[in-house]
Amino acid sequence: MWICLCEAVTSTTIREVIEDGAASVGAVAEACGAGTVCGKCKRTIAVMVDQHSPAEKKRFARWR
């Protein structure tokens, strides 16, 4: 799914960047450009970063 239309960045790319270590919206922006033009996607990127945090992974691990 397209997350950042201005820079043509998909959710897959953002997930890959987060898995490679980007732990903030700024780090994602630096890695792939998402959120650097109009900023409308920053909230979605923040949610994606939060969902992939170590605490969230631990929380969901017990349901697997």
Cα dihedral: 13, 5, 27, 38 (round 10): 180
For residue 4, pLDDT beyond 70: yes
Phi, psi of 61 (to 5 degrees): -60, -35
Instruction: Find the length of the chain.
Output: 64
Top pLDDT among 1 and 58 is at 1
Cα–Cα distance between 61 and 9 in angstroms, integer?
28
Q: Give 3-state DSSP helix, strand, coil % of the chain, rounded to 5.
A: 55, 10, 40
pLDDT in tens, 5-63: 999 999 999 999 999 999 999 999 999 999 999 999 999 999 999 998 766 555 554 44
pLDDT in tens, 33-47: 999 999 999 999 999
- Report yes or no: 37 and 23 within 8 Å, Cβ to Cβ: no
pLDDT at 64: 47
